[in-house]
Amino acid sequence: MTTSHVKRAFKYRFRPTDAQAAELSRTFGCVRKVYNMALAARTEAWTRQERVNYNATSALLTAWKKTEELSFLNDVSSVPLQQCLRHLQVAFTSFFGKRAKYPRFKSRKKSRRSAEYTTSGFRFRDGKLTLAKMAEPLDIVWSRPLPEGSKPSTVTVSQDAAGRWFVSMLCEDPGVQPLPVNAGAVGIDVGLEHLLTLSTGEKIANPRHERQDRARLARAQRELSRKAKGDGANRAKARRKVARVHARITDRRRDHLHKLTTRLVRENQTLVIEDLTVRNMVKNRSLARAISDAAWSEFRSMLEYKAQWYGREVIAVDRFFPSSKLCSTCGALQQKMPLSIRTWTCDCGTTHDRDVNAAKNLLAAGRAVAACGAGVRPQRSSPDGQSAMKQEVSRREP
Protein backbone atom coordinates (compact mmCIF):
# COMPACT_ATOMS: atom_id res chain seq x y z
CA MET A 1 0.00 0.00 0.00
CA THR A 2 1.51 3.31 -1.07
CA THR A 3 1.23 6.40 1.10
CA SER A 4 0.15 9.56 -0.70
CA HIS A 5 2.22 12.59 0.23
CA VAL A 6 1.38 16.27 0.12
CA LYS A 7 2.38 17.94 -3.13
CA ARG A 8 4.29 21.18 -2.69
CA ALA A 9 5.63 23.72 -5.12
CA PHE A 10 9.32 24.54 -4.66
CA LYS A 11 10.16 27.88 -6.24
CA TYR A 12 13.66 28.97 -7.28
CA ARG A 13 15.31 31.83 -9.11
CA PHE A 14 17.29 31.01 -12.23
CA ARG A 15 19.51 32.85 -14.68
CA PRO A 16 18.64 32.07 -18.30
CA THR A 17 21.11 32.45 -21.13
CA ASP A 18 20.18 34.86 -23.91
CA ALA A 19 18.99 31.96 -26.04
CA GLN A 20 16.89 30.52 -23.19
CA ALA A 21 15.38 33.93 -22.39
CA ALA A 22 14.43 34.41 -26.05
CA GLU A 23 12.90 30.92 -26.25
CA LEU A 24 10.91 31.43 -23.06
CA SER A 25 9.70 34.87 -24.17
CA ARG A 26 8.46 33.31 -27.43
CA THR A 27 6.73 30.59 -25.43
CA PHE A 28 5.04 33.13 -23.15
CA GLY A 29 3.77 35.02 -26.19
CA CYS A 30 2.45 31.86 -27.86
CA VAL A 31 0.73 30.74 -24.64
CA ARG A 32 -1.01 34.09 -24.37
CA LYS A 33 -1.99 34.01 -28.07
CA VAL A 34 -3.46 30.49 -27.88
CA TYR A 35 -5.30 31.24 -24.64
CA ASN A 36 -6.89 34.39 -26.09
CA MET A 37 -7.85 32.68 -29.36
CA ALA A 38 -9.39 29.74 -27.51
CA LEU A 39 -11.27 32.11 -25.19
CA ALA A 40 -12.57 34.05 -28.20
CA ALA A 41 -13.73 30.81 -29.85
CA ARG A 42 -15.48 29.64 -26.70
CA THR A 43 -17.07 33.06 -26.16
CA GLU A 44 -18.40 33.09 -29.73
CA ALA A 45 -19.86 29.62 -29.18
CA TRP A 46 -21.31 30.79 -25.87
CA THR A 47 -23.26 33.56 -27.65
CA ARG A 48 -24.74 30.83 -29.85
CA GLN A 49 -25.64 28.91 -26.67
CA GLU A 50 -23.11 26.21 -27.52
CA ARG A 51 -20.44 24.81 -25.26
CA VAL A 52 -16.90 24.15 -26.45
CA ASN A 53 -14.79 21.91 -24.22
CA TYR A 54 -11.07 21.25 -23.93
CA ASN A 55 -11.05 18.59 -26.66
CA ALA A 56 -12.62 21.00 -29.14
CA THR A 57 -10.06 23.75 -28.38
CA SER A 58 -7.24 21.19 -28.66
CA ALA A 59 -8.50 20.29 -32.16
CA LEU A 60 -8.62 24.01 -32.97
CA LEU A 61 -4.99 24.36 -31.86
CA THR A 62 -3.97 21.59 -34.26
CA ALA A 63 -5.76 23.38 -37.09
CA TRP A 64 -4.21 26.75 -36.19
CA LYS A 65 -0.70 25.30 -36.35
CA LYS A 66 -1.30 24.21 -39.95
CA THR A 67 -2.14 27.73 -41.16
CA GLU A 68 0.54 29.97 -42.59
CA GLU A 69 -0.46 32.86 -40.34
CA LEU A 70 -0.02 30.85 -37.13
CA SER A 71 2.79 28.53 -38.18
CA PHE A 72 5.06 30.18 -35.57
CA LEU A 73 3.20 28.16 -32.91
CA ASN A 74 5.20 25.14 -34.11
CA ASP A 75 8.45 26.85 -33.06
CA VAL A 76 7.77 26.41 -29.33
CA SER A 77 7.00 23.35 -27.22
CA SER A 78 3.43 22.12 -27.60
CA VAL A 79 3.17 21.19 -23.91
CA PRO A 80 2.66 24.75 -22.50
CA LEU A 81 0.12 25.44 -25.27
CA GLN A 82 -1.92 22.38 -24.30
CA GLN A 83 -1.61 23.29 -20.63
CA CYS A 84 -3.01 26.79 -21.18
CA LEU A 85 -6.06 25.19 -22.82
CA ARG A 86 -6.49 23.03 -19.72
CA HIS A 87 -6.24 26.15 -17.54
CA LEU A 88 -8.94 27.77 -19.66
CA GLN A 89 -11.13 24.69 -19.17
CA VAL A 90 -10.66 25.00 -15.38
CA ALA A 91 -11.58 28.70 -15.57
CA PHE A 92 -14.82 27.88 -17.42
CA THR A 93 -15.62 25.06 -15.00
CA SER A 94 -15.28 27.52 -12.11
CA PHE A 95 -17.47 30.01 -13.98
CA PHE A 96 -20.22 27.49 -14.67
CA GLY A 97 -19.99 26.37 -11.04
CA LYS A 98 -20.53 30.01 -9.97
CA ARG A 99 -17.20 30.08 -8.15
CA ALA A 100 -15.55 32.69 -10.39
CA LYS A 101 -16.27 35.38 -12.93
CA TYR A 102 -16.19 34.86 -16.68
CA PRO A 103 -12.58 34.29 -17.92
CA ARG A 104 -10.78 37.37 -19.20
CA PHE A 105 -8.32 37.83 -22.05
CA LYS A 106 -4.61 37.93 -21.22
CA SER A 107 -2.93 41.31 -21.64
CA ARG A 108 0.56 41.57 -23.12
CA LYS A 109 1.66 44.07 -20.48
CA LYS A 110 -0.36 43.19 -17.39
CA SER A 111 -0.83 39.42 -17.45
CA ARG A 112 1.56 37.05 -15.72
CA ARG A 113 4.25 35.74 -18.07
CA SER A 114 4.37 31.99 -17.45
CA ALA A 115 4.44 28.58 -19.12
CA GLU A 116 3.66 25.21 -17.56
CA TYR A 117 5.44 22.01 -18.56
CA THR A 118 4.32 18.48 -17.69
CA THR A 119 6.68 15.48 -17.60
CA SER A 120 6.77 15.17 -21.40
CA GLY A 121 8.03 18.75 -21.68
CA PHE A 122 11.14 18.62 -19.48
CA ARG A 123 13.96 16.36 -18.32
CA PHE A 124 15.17 16.30 -14.70
CA ARG A 125 18.34 14.28 -14.16
CA ASP A 126 21.13 14.55 -11.59
CA GLY A 127 19.66 17.75 -10.18
CA LYS A 128 19.58 19.46 -13.59
CA LEU A 129 16.41 20.68 -15.31
CA THR A 130 16.25 20.91 -19.10
CA LEU A 131 13.11 22.20 -20.81
CA ALA A 132 11.81 21.15 -24.23
CA LYS A 133 13.35 23.00 -27.20
CA MET A 134 16.44 23.84 -25.10
CA ALA A 135 19.89 22.33 -25.43
CA GLU A 136 21.25 23.40 -22.03
CA PRO A 137 19.84 22.94 -18.51
CA LEU A 138 18.61 25.97 -16.57
CA ASP A 139 21.09 27.67 -14.25
CA ILE A 140 18.97 27.37 -11.09
CA VAL A 141 19.88 29.00 -7.78
CA TRP A 142 19.21 26.10 -5.41
CA SER A 143 18.26 28.07 -2.29
CA ARG A 144 17.01 24.82 -0.69
CA PRO A 145 17.11 21.18 -1.80
CA LEU A 146 14.16 19.31 -3.21
CA PRO A 147 12.83 16.47 -1.00
CA GLU A 148 15.19 13.52 -1.22
CA GLY A 149 14.25 11.10 -3.98
CA SER A 150 11.41 13.24 -5.33
CA LYS A 151 11.02 14.33 -8.93
CA PRO A 152 8.89 17.20 -10.21
CA SER A 153 5.61 16.25 -11.86
CA THR A 154 5.00 19.77 -13.19
CA VAL A 155 7.37 22.65 -13.87
CA THR A 156 6.18 26.25 -14.24
CA VAL A 157 8.55 28.90 -15.57
CA SER A 158 7.66 32.55 -15.05
CA GLN A 159 9.04 36.06 -15.21
CA ASP A 160 7.71 38.77 -12.91
CA ALA A 161 7.28 42.48 -13.64
CA ALA A 162 10.67 43.20 -12.08
CA GLY A 163 12.36 41.01 -14.71
CA ARG A 164 13.22 38.16 -12.33
CA TRP A 165 13.00 34.59 -13.64
CA PHE A 166 11.50 31.80 -11.53
CA VAL A 167 10.97 28.08 -11.89
CA SER A 168 8.40 26.32 -9.71
CA MET A 169 8.55 22.54 -9.34
CA LEU A 170 5.59 20.56 -8.03
CA CYS A 171 6.86 17.59 -6.00
CA GLU A 172 5.61 15.16 -3.41
CA ASP A 173 7.05 16.07 -0.02
CA PRO A 174 7.24 13.11 2.40
CA GLY A 175 8.47 15.54 5.06
CA VAL A 176 5.00 17.04 5.50
CA GLN A 177 3.34 14.84 8.13
CA PRO A 178 0.68 15.56 10.78
CA LEU A 179 2.22 16.95 13.94
CA PRO A 180 1.60 15.33 17.34
CA VAL A 181 -1.77 16.36 18.75
CA ASN A 182 -1.55 18.92 21.55
CA ALA A 183 -4.00 20.80 23.76
CA GLY A 184 -3.09 24.23 22.45
CA ALA A 185 -5.91 26.49 21.27
CA VAL A 186 -5.72 30.18 20.40
CA GLY A 187 -8.10 32.91 19.30
CA ILE A 188 -6.67 35.33 16.73
CA ASP A 189 -7.95 38.87 16.23
CA VAL A 190 -6.47 40.69 13.22
CA GLY A 191 -5.96 44.43 13.15
CA LEU A 192 -3.96 47.32 11.79
CA GLU A 193 -2.27 48.82 14.85
CA HIS A 194 -1.22 45.28 15.76
CA LEU A 195 -1.27 42.73 12.97
CA LEU A 196 -2.47 39.98 15.34
CA THR A 197 -3.73 39.93 18.91
CA LEU A 198 -3.83 36.46 20.48
CA SER A 199 -6.14 35.24 23.23
CA THR A 200 -3.01 34.62 25.32
CA GLY A 201 -2.55 38.41 25.50
CA GLU A 202 0.36 38.47 23.04
CA LYS A 203 0.28 41.26 20.48
CA ILE A 204 2.23 40.93 17.24
CA ALA A 205 3.30 44.21 15.70
CA ASN A 206 2.24 45.16 12.20
CA PRO A 207 5.49 45.58 10.19
CA ARG A 208 3.76 47.86 7.61
CA HIS A 209 6.11 46.86 4.80
CA GLU A 210 4.42 49.11 2.25
CA ARG A 211 4.68 52.15 4.54
CA GLN A 212 8.40 51.51 5.08
CA ASP A 213 9.07 51.66 1.35
CA ARG A 214 6.47 54.30 0.51
CA ALA A 215 9.00 57.07 -0.16
CA ARG A 216 11.07 54.80 -2.41
CA LEU A 217 7.93 53.68 -4.25
CA ALA A 218 6.69 57.24 -4.72
CA ARG A 219 10.05 58.32 -6.13
CA ALA A 220 10.07 55.44 -8.62
CA GLN A 221 6.48 56.18 -9.64
CA ARG A 222 7.29 59.86 -10.20
CA GLU A 223 10.17 58.89 -12.46
CA LEU A 224 7.85 56.58 -14.40
CA SER A 225 5.21 59.29 -14.82
CA ARG A 226 7.78 61.60 -16.45
CA LYS A 227 8.59 59.10 -19.20
CA ALA A 228 6.80 59.39 -22.51
CA LYS A 229 4.04 56.80 -22.81
CA GLY A 230 4.59 53.97 -25.23
CA ASP A 231 7.00 51.07 -25.61
CA GLY A 232 10.20 53.07 -25.20
CA ALA A 233 13.23 51.59 -23.46
CA ASN A 234 13.38 54.37 -20.84
CA ARG A 235 9.78 53.85 -19.84
CA ALA A 236 10.31 50.07 -19.63
CA LYS A 237 13.35 50.66 -17.40
CA ALA A 238 11.35 53.00 -15.13
CA ARG A 239 8.50 50.49 -14.99
CA ARG A 240 10.92 47.78 -13.84
CA LYS A 241 12.16 50.06 -11.05
CA VAL A 242 8.61 50.44 -9.75
CA ALA A 243 8.08 46.69 -10.03
CA ARG A 244 11.27 45.99 -8.07
CA VAL A 245 10.01 48.11 -5.15
CA HIS A 246 6.68 46.29 -5.22
CA ALA A 247 8.50 42.94 -5.36
CA ARG A 248 10.61 43.87 -2.33
CA ILE A 249 7.47 44.77 -0.36
CA THR A 250 5.67 41.58 -1.39
CA ASP A 251 8.64 39.32 -0.63
CA ARG A 252 9.16 40.73 2.86
CA ARG A 253 5.46 40.59 3.67
CA ARG A 254 5.17 36.97 2.51
CA ASP A 255 8.29 35.94 4.43
CA HIS A 256 6.90 37.47 7.63
CA LEU A 257 3.51 35.77 7.19
CA HIS A 258 5.13 32.39 6.49
CA LYS A 259 7.15 32.54 9.71
CA LEU A 260 4.14 33.70 11.69
CA THR A 261 1.66 31.10 10.41
CA THR A 262 4.17 28.26 10.73
CA ARG A 263 4.77 29.17 14.37
CA LEU A 264 1.04 29.39 15.17
CA VAL A 265 0.27 26.05 13.49
CA ARG A 266 3.14 24.27 15.27
CA GLU A 267 2.14 25.59 18.69
CA ASN A 268 -1.65 25.13 18.56
CA GLN A 269 -4.03 22.31 17.71
CA THR A 270 -7.01 24.66 17.22
CA LEU A 271 -6.84 28.14 15.72
CA VAL A 272 -9.90 30.39 15.75
CA ILE A 273 -10.17 33.37 13.42
CA GLU A 274 -12.90 35.72 12.28
CA ASP A 275 -14.60 35.19 8.91
CA LEU A 276 -13.92 38.65 7.44
CA THR A 277 -14.96 39.88 3.99
CA VAL A 278 -11.74 41.66 3.14
CA ARG A 279 -12.86 42.39 -0.43
CA ASN A 280 -15.64 44.57 1.00
CA MET A 281 -13.39 46.21 3.57
CA VAL A 282 -10.89 47.45 0.99
CA LYS A 283 -13.72 49.49 -0.56
CA ASN A 284 -13.20 51.89 2.35
CA ARG A 285 -10.82 54.37 0.68
CA SER A 286 -9.30 55.67 3.88
CA LEU A 287 -8.27 52.18 5.03
CA ALA A 288 -7.82 50.24 1.78
CA ARG A 289 -4.06 50.81 1.63
CA ALA A 290 -3.47 49.74 5.23
CA ILE A 291 -5.74 46.69 4.94
CA SER A 292 -4.03 45.56 1.74
CA ASP A 293 -0.62 45.98 3.37
CA ALA A 294 -1.73 43.86 6.35
CA ALA A 295 -2.69 41.05 3.92
CA TRP A 296 -5.34 39.43 6.13
CA SER A 297 -6.56 37.20 3.28
CA GLU A 298 -3.07 35.88 2.59
CA PHE A 299 -2.58 35.23 6.31
CA ARG A 300 -5.79 33.19 6.47
CA SER A 301 -4.93 31.26 3.31
CA MET A 302 -1.50 30.29 4.66
CA LEU A 303 -2.97 29.35 8.04
CA GLU A 304 -5.59 27.08 6.47
CA TYR A 305 -3.37 25.12 4.09
CA LYS A 306 -0.64 24.65 6.70
CA ALA A 307 -3.23 23.47 9.21
CA GLN A 308 -4.42 20.94 6.65
CA TRP A 309 -0.85 19.76 6.07
CA TYR A 310 -0.04 19.29 9.74
CA GLY A 311 -3.36 17.97 11.09
CA ARG A 312 -4.53 21.16 12.81
CA GLU A 313 -7.99 22.75 12.80
CA VAL A 314 -8.87 26.29 11.76
CA ILE A 315 -12.32 27.55 12.79
CA ALA A 316 -13.78 30.72 11.26
CA VAL A 317 -16.33 32.46 13.49
CA ASP A 318 -19.20 34.44 11.99
CA ARG A 319 -18.07 37.99 11.21
CA PHE A 320 -21.17 39.46 12.94
CA PHE A 321 -20.24 37.86 16.25
CA PRO A 322 -19.86 40.80 18.74
CA SER A 323 -16.38 39.82 19.88
CA SER A 324 -15.41 43.35 21.00
CA LYS A 325 -18.60 44.17 22.96
CA LEU A 326 -18.83 40.88 24.86
CA CYS A 327 -17.20 40.50 28.25
CA SER A 328 -15.02 37.41 28.09
CA THR A 329 -15.34 36.93 31.87
CA CYS A 330 -19.08 37.17 32.60
CA GLY A 331 -20.58 37.21 29.09
CA ALA A 332 -22.33 40.58 29.47
CA LEU A 333 -22.97 42.35 26.17
CA GLN A 334 -22.23 46.07 26.02
CA GLN A 335 -24.79 48.02 24.04
CA LYS A 336 -22.31 50.64 22.87
CA MET A 337 -18.56 50.52 22.45
CA PRO A 338 -17.09 53.78 21.05
CA LEU A 339 -14.20 53.07 18.71
CA SER A 340 -11.92 55.42 20.63
CA ILE A 341 -12.10 53.14 23.68
CA ARG A 342 -9.26 50.63 23.64
CA THR A 343 -9.73 49.47 27.26
CA TRP A 344 -12.99 49.20 29.17
CA THR A 345 -14.29 47.90 32.48
CA CYS A 346 -17.30 45.58 32.68
CA ASP A 347 -19.92 45.74 35.44
CA CYS A 348 -18.37 42.57 36.84
CA GLY A 349 -15.23 44.58 37.58
CA THR A 350 -13.00 43.09 34.87
CA THR A 351 -10.92 45.57 32.88
CA HIS A 352 -10.42 44.51 29.29
CA ASP A 353 -8.00 45.35 26.53
CA ARG A 354 -10.36 45.63 23.56
CA ASP A 355 -8.35 43.43 21.16
CA VAL A 356 -7.32 40.81 23.72
CA ASN A 357 -10.93 40.52 24.88
CA ALA A 358 -12.05 40.05 21.24
CA ALA A 359 -9.48 37.28 20.75
CA LYS A 360 -10.63 35.53 23.95
CA ASN A 361 -14.25 35.68 22.78
CA LEU A 362 -13.29 34.27 19.39
CA LEU A 363 -11.55 31.36 21.11
CA ALA A 364 -14.63 30.67 23.28
CA ALA A 365 -16.90 30.78 20.22
CA GLY A 366 -14.54 28.47 18.33
CA ARG A 367 -14.55 25.97 21.19
CA ALA A 368 -18.36 26.03 21.14
CA VAL A 369 -18.26 25.27 17.43
CA ALA A 370 -15.86 22.37 17.97
CA ALA A 371 -17.91 20.97 20.86
CA CYS A 372 -21.47 21.21 19.56
CA GLY A 373 -21.24 22.29 15.93
CA ALA A 374 -22.63 25.77 16.50
CA GLY A 375 -23.06 28.02 13.51
CA VAL A 376 -19.77 29.08 11.99
CA ARG A 377 -20.80 30.08 8.46
CA PRO A 378 -21.00 33.81 7.76
CA GLN A 379 -24.45 35.31 7.54
CA ARG A 380 -25.06 36.04 3.88
CA SER A 381 -27.87 38.51 4.53
CA SER A 382 -28.49 40.67 7.56
CA PRO A 383 -30.59 43.81 7.99
CA ASP A 384 -27.68 45.66 9.54
CA GLY A 385 -24.94 43.82 7.65
CA GLN A 386 -23.52 46.96 6.05
CA SER A 387 -23.31 48.82 9.36
CA ALA A 388 -21.69 45.78 10.97
CA MET A 389 -19.10 45.63 8.20
CA LYS A 390 -18.31 49.35 8.51
CA GLN A 391 -17.98 49.01 12.27
CA GLU A 392 -15.64 46.04 11.82
CA VAL A 393 -13.44 48.04 9.46
CA SER A 394 -13.39 51.02 11.79
CA ARG A 395 -12.55 48.79 14.77
CA ARG A 396 -9.28 47.94 13.04
CA GLU A 397 -8.33 51.53 12.33
CA PRO A 398 -5.07 52.41 14.05
Whether residue 304 sits in one domain with residue 210: yes
pLDDT of residue 380: 35
pLDDT at 384 over 50: no
Whether the per-residue pLDDT at 151 is higher than 70: the answer is yes
Is pLDDT above 70 for 252?
yes
pLDDT of 381 reads 35
Q: Please give the model's pTM, rounded to 2 decimal places.
A: 0.83
The verdict on whether 189 is a catalytic residue reads yes
Q: Which of 23, 116, 172, 189 is catalytic?
A: 189
* Average pLDDT over every residue of 80-90: 96
Q: Would you place residue 383 in the very low, low, confident or very high pLDDT band (cuts 50, 70, 90)?
A: very low
- Give the integer Cα–Cα distance in Å for 154 and 9: 9
How many whole angstroms separate alpha carbon 81 and alpha carbon 74? 10
* Whether 210 and 332 share a structural domain: yes
Q: Are residues 233 and 110 in the same domain?
A: no
Which pLDDT tens digit goes with each residue over 286-305?
888 988 999 999 999 999 99
- Which among 116, 172, 274, 392 is annotated as catalytic? 274
pLDDT given for residue 373 in this prediction: 58
Domain presence at residue 252: yes
Among residues 105, 139, 173, which one ends one of the domains? 173
Q: What is residue 51's predicted lDDT score, i.e. its pLDDT?
A: 80
Q: What pLDDT sits at residue 374?
A: 52
Question: Strands 203-205 and 194-198: what pairing?
Answer: antiparallel
Say how many domains are in the chain: 2
Same domain, 77 and 98: yes
Q: Please compute the mean of the pLDDT values over residues 143-149 and round it to a whole number.
A: 90
Q: Mark whether 107 and 85 lie in a shared domain.
A: yes
* Residue 369 belongs to some domain of the structure: yes
Q: Does 351 have pLDDT greater than 90?
A: no
User: Are 315 and 273 in a shared domain?
Assistant: yes
355 in active site? yes
Burial profile 96-132: b = 16 or more Cβ within 10 angstroms, e = fewer: eeeeeeebeebeeeeeebbbbbbeebbebeeeebebb
Question: Domain range for residue 333?
Answer: 185-395
Q: Known catalytic residue: 274?
A: yes
Terminal-to-terminal C-alpha distance of the chain: 54
pLDDT (mean) for 80-109? 94
294 and 391 part of one domain: yes
